[in-house]
Structure 1
Amino acid sequence: MEGALAVKTVIIVVIGALCGAVPTISPSQEELSKAQEYLSQFFSDVGVSAPDSVWRSSLDSFEDTLRKMQEFFGLDVTGQLDSNTLEVMARPRCGFTDVSRYGHFDGQPKWGKTLLTYRITDYTPDLNQSDVDATIAKALRVYSDAVPLDFKQTDSGTADIMITFKSKDHGDFSPFDGQAGVLAHAFSPGEGIGGDAHFDEDETWTLTSAGTNLFLVAAHEIGHALGLAHSQVQTALMYPTYKYVNTEGYTLPDDDRQGVQAIYGARVQPTAKPDPNPNTPEKTGPKPQPRPEPNPQPTPKPPPHRCSRDLAFDAATSIQRQLHFFKDGYFWKRISSWHGITMRTIQSVWPGIRQVDAAYEYKKRSTAFFFEGAHYWGIRGNAILPGYPKPLRDLGFPPSVTKVDAAVHVSFTSRTLLFVNDKYWSYNDRTGRMDAGNPRFIQTELPGISNKVDAVFENNNYLYFTHGTTQTEYNYRLRRAVRTLLNTGWMDCK
C-alpha cells in the first residue's frame, strides 16, 4: 500500500509547579504564532498522507481548536492561552491525537494475511540481543493473544515488519532528535516501509522503569504497524505519550483491544473436537493423566484483613479529610464522620496504579501524591492529574533512590518528609525543591521512632509513624514520642 503513514511516539517531560493554570492575559506575538502553528499541525480536521505533511484547520476558529486541544490533554477548557496550555504546546509530541477512545488510520489499512514476519536488522547495545528478541516477541504476543494474527521472526531478507535501532537521520525523512523527545516511530500496514518500526538509539533502552522501557514502546509501535492510531484514553497503550507501568503479566488494555479487534476480529480459542464415534465402547485400561501446565498461574493473593494481628501498612495518608490506609494493592478508607471502614482495590479507583509504597496530601492544592517504585503520581479526588507518572528525580532525589518508603506533609512547617531506608529528605512543595542538608538520619533528627518507617500520616496535629504492626504517636514540634499503638487501632476492630 502506497503512502503509509509514519507516526512518532514521544515522551513528555513535565517540569514545574503542581498548581493550576495561570492565565496569559496578553500572549506575545511569538507565543500566538507558535500556538497557531501547533493547532494547525496537530488539531486540524484535514487528513494527512505523508510523514512530513502539515495539517491545516480551516473549519474551526482558533478558539474552538484551542478548546479541542485543551480538552484532549485534560486542561482547563477556556479557549484562552494560559501557562499550562503553552507548556503542553512546548512539549515534544506525536502527530495523531484528535481522536476519542481508540483510533484507526484514514482508510483503515490492515494486513491481508494472518502470518506476519518480522526482522530486527540493528540491535541496541543497551541490552543483550537475546533480551531484545524476547522483548519484541513479548510485545507482539500482546496482540496475537487478542486477534487472529501470528508472528514469525526471520534473520534474512525483507520481512513484513522491519525493526531497527538508529539515531538522528536514518533514511526515512523523519530524523530522530537525540535523547528524550521522540522515542520511536512506526508506519501503518502497507508495502515497502509500511509496518516498519524505528527506535531512537540515543535513548537508554531498558527492561525496567529506569531509562526507556523497550517493551512498552515496542508494544505501542506495533499497534501502529497493525493499523492503530492514537487514543485519548490515558490508560490506553496507544495514548500518544510515554509513561511507565508495571510490565509483569501485561495484557492489552480494553480500549486498545477493542481497536485492534475492530480491524482483525477477535482470536477464537480452539475447542475440543467432538468424538466422531460417540457410541464406541471405551477401551479398558488406565486413562492417561492430564499433562501439567508448564507455567501454572500463581494463586492470587487474598485481600488483607484489616483486623489481623500481623497488619502492617504499605502507606497511609489523609485525602479530603478521610484517612486512607494502603496494603497489597488494596486500600481502606476511614470516614471521620462515621466509624466505619470501606475497602477497595487501588486500580478500581486510580487505574494504572497497582501498589502504593508511600503517599501524602498537600492540602493547599487539594492534591495527593502516590509513590510506586521509581515514579510518583499526582491525584485529585479519583482522577490522576495530566502529565503523570513522573520519575523520582523530578523531586530532586539522586539516582540511587529508586523507591520511597513513606511520606507525610507537616502542616505547620509546610514541608514534606520523604523517608528512604534510615534517612529522610525534606521537600518544599511550594518551591518544588528539596531543602538544604538532605538527607538526614531518622534517629538523629526524629528521636524516639524506629530507624525504618513503613508509613506515616498526620492526624489532629500528631504524626503517626508505623513500623511493622505498631506505630508511634509523635509530637513533631517537641520531637518527642507520645505513645505506642497497634495499627489495628484505626481499623474499627471489635
Structure 2
Amino acid sequence: MKFLTMIVFLQVSACGAAPMNESEFAEWYLSRFYDYEEDRIPMTKSKSNRNFLEEKLQEMQQFFGLEATGQLDTSTLAIMHTPRCGVPDVEHLRSLPQRSRWMKRYLTYRIYNYTPDMKREDVDYIFQKAFQVWSDVTPLRFRKLHQGEADIMILFAFGGTNLFLVAVHELGHSLGLQHSNNPKSIMYPTYRYLDPNTFRLSADDIHKIQSLYGAPVKNPSMINPGGLPSTFCQQSLSFDAVTTVGEKIFFFKDWFFWWKLPGSPATNLTSISSIWPTIPSGIQAAYEIEGKNQLFLFKDEQYWLINNLVPEPHSPRSIYSLGFSASVKKVDAAVFDPIHQKVYFFVDKQYWRYDVRRKLMDPTYPKLISIHFPGIKPKIDAVLYFKRHYYIFQGAYQLEYDLLSRRVTKTLKSTSWFGC
C-alpha cells in the first residue's frame, strides 16, 4: 500500500503572463511563496495592510540572507525575478504531513508526460541520473514504470532551466525535503547554473536526506571491508553479469561488483555508483571488446558504452540501435568472441550474433540456444570468455563450454573464481 502519491511539477518561472508593476509582482511573489494572502487578518488599530507586507518582506529577506529592511529594494527584487522552484518557502502546519518521509525503501516512478522540447530518451536518462543522486546517499531504490500509478508521478509544468538540476531539486521535495536557505544546497529555492557532470550534493543536503532515511545500507552477508565474508563460499550466489575488464574480471550484483585478477586470492568490492555515478544499479549484461578498452553495460532497453573506464557522453543508447527486434525488452547475458570478432547476446531461449567489424546484427538470427549450444539450456544469467572457453552462469552454477568441441566440459559453482 502506498504511503503517498506525490506529483513532481517542474516549474521554473515565477512570473505569470499578465503584466504587473513591481509592487504587484512583489505581492504576487509573497502570496505564492510566503503565504502573504493566507496570513491576512482583518484590520485592527495595531496592524495595517502595510505592516503585513513589511513582515512578509522581512521573512523573505531573512530566508535569502538579505538585510531584513522590509522594503522592496533592488536586491530583493533581483531575488524575486530569479527563476525558482514553484514550491513555497513557508508552509502552514496543515501541509507539513505532506512532507513526511516514505515508509518504504523501494519506490516506483513514472514520467506521465514529456516536454516537446527534448527527446524522450534524454528525459529518461536525466531523471535516471537525478534519482541516482538521492539513491547514492540513502537506502532508497527507484524503479521506472511505463504505465499505471507510481509512487512518484512526474509531470512537466514548465521548461527552460537545466532539467537535471530541476529534477534533483523537485525529487528532493518528493522525498520529504523542504527548501534550504543554504545557497550551496540543491534545495535552495532559486535555480542556478551548475555543471551536471561535476554536480555533487552539499553536506547540508546529505545530512537532511539521511536524517530521514539513513545512510546507504550495505548487505552484511555480502560485504566485508577485510575481504570476503567467511560464509561466502557457503552461499548459493548468482551474478547479474560477468565480464573481463582488461586483466581483471568484474562480477556484477545489484548495486555493486566484485573485481579480481584471475588466480589471485585478493578480491575487491566496489559500488557501481562510486566508479560511474551515471550508471544505474542492477546491470543485466556486460561485455568487453578486447584490445579496445571498451566496456558495454546493459539494463532493460538501454546500454552504456564505457571507454577506458569513462562513460561515453551520449550514453545510454537504445538496444534497438544494435538491431534487436521490438520484442526484446532486455538482454540476459552478452559475451565478446575475440577470435571471430562477434558478440553473442542471450535473450530468453534465443541468442543473437552481432558483427563488431560491420557493426550490424548478423542475418538469420536469433537462433535457439539449446540447438546451437549443445548442453546449454535457458535461462542464462551471465557469460564470460576466458582462455578460449565460455563460462555460462546459471543460478548458483556455471558451465565451462569448450568453443572448439562445442560441448560442456565442466560444471562448477558460480563462486569458483573466488577459490570456493
Classify the TM-score, shorter chain: 0.5 to 0.7
Measure the CA separation in 1 of the matches of 2:176 and 2:87. Answer: 27
Counterpart residue number, 1:413 = 340
TM-score (norm 1): 0.47
Contact persistence 2:402–2:408 (CA under 8 A) = yes
Measure the CA separation in 1 of the matches of 2:291 and 2:177. Answer: 38
Contact persistence 2:381–2:393 (CA under 8 A) = yes
CA RMSD of aligned residues (A): 5.0
Counterpart residue number, 1:371 = 298
AA of the residue aligned to 1:491: F
SS in 1 for 2:236: coil
SS in 1 for 2:269: strand
Measure the CA separation in 2 of the matches of 1:339 and 1:350. Answer: 25
Alpha-carbon spacing, 1:312–1:182, altered in 2? closer, same or farther (3 Å)? closer
Alpha-carbon spacing, 1:485–1:178, altered in 2? closer, same or farther (3 Å)? closer
Alpha-carbon spacing, 1:182–1:249, altered in 2? closer, same or farther (3 Å)? closer
Q: Structure 2 regions of 5+ residues with no counterpart?
A: 1-11, 18-77, 92-97, 102-111, 125-142, 169-173, 192-201, 223-228
Identify the match of residue 276 of structure 2 among 350, 365, 379.
350
Measure the CA separation in 2 of the matches of 1:318 and 1:372. Answer: 18
Alpha-carbon spacing, 1:446–1:348, altered in 2? closer, same or farther (3 Å)? same
Measure the CA separation in 1 of the matches of 2:348 and 2:357. Answer: 25
SS in 2 for 1:261: coil
Counterpart residue number, 2:309 = 382
Within 5 Å, give how 1:426-445 maps onto structure 2: 426-445=353-372
SS in 2 for 1:307: helix
Counterpart residue number, 1:108 = 82
| 1:327 matched to 2:301 | no
Measure the CA separation in 1 of the matches of 2:237 and 2:358. Answer: 36
**Percent identity over paired residues:** 27
Q: Which consecutive segments of 4 or more residues in structure 1 shift more than 6 A?
A: 1-6, 104-107, 164-167, 181-184, 213-217, 248-252, 264-269, 295-300
AA of the residue aligned to 1:312: S
- Number of residue-to-residue matches in the alignment: 282
Within 5 Å, give how 1:56-67 maps onto structure 2: none
Counterpart residue number, 2:145 = 208
Contact persistence 2:14–2:83 (CA under 8 A) = no
| 1:483 matched to 2:410 | yes
Measure the CA separation in 2 of the matches of 1:424 and 1:321. Answer: 27
Measure the CA separation in 2 of the matches of 1:317 and 1:375. Answer: 18
Contact persistence 2:262–2:417 (CA under 8 A) = no
Tell me how far 1:381 sits from its aligned partner: 3.8
Counterpart residue number, 2:399 = 472
Measure the CA separation in 2 of the matches of 1:249 and 1:145. Answer: 8
Tell me how far 1:462 sits from its aligned partner: 1.0
Measure the CA separation in 1 of the matches of 2:341 and 2:114. Answer: 47
Tell me how far 1:394 sits from its aligned partner: 1.7
Q: C-alpha offsets along residues 188-245 of structure 1, whole Å, 9 cap, x if unaligned?
A: xxxxxxxxxxxxxxxxxx96369xx9979747x66x68xxx328xxxx45599xxxxx
Alpha-carbon spacing, 1:465–1:405, altered in 2? closer, same or farther (3 Å)? same
**Which sits farther off after the overlay, 301-310 or 484-493?**
301-310
Measure the CA separation in 2 of the matches of 1:2 and 1:420. Answer: 46
Contact persistence 1:450–1:467 (CA under 8 A) = no
| 1:458 matched to 2:412 | no
AA of the residue aligned to 1:442: I
Richer in helix (by share): 2
| 1:316 matched to 2:242 | yes
AA of the residue aligned to 1:340: A
Tell me how far 1:113 sits from its aligned partner: 5.0
Q: Structure 1 regions of 5+ residues with no counterpart?
A: 7-103, 117-140, 147-163, 168-175, 185-205, 241-247, 270-292
Tell me how far 1:477 sits from its aligned partner: 2.9
AA of the residue aligned to 2:162: H
Tell me how far 1:475 sits from its aligned partner: 1.4
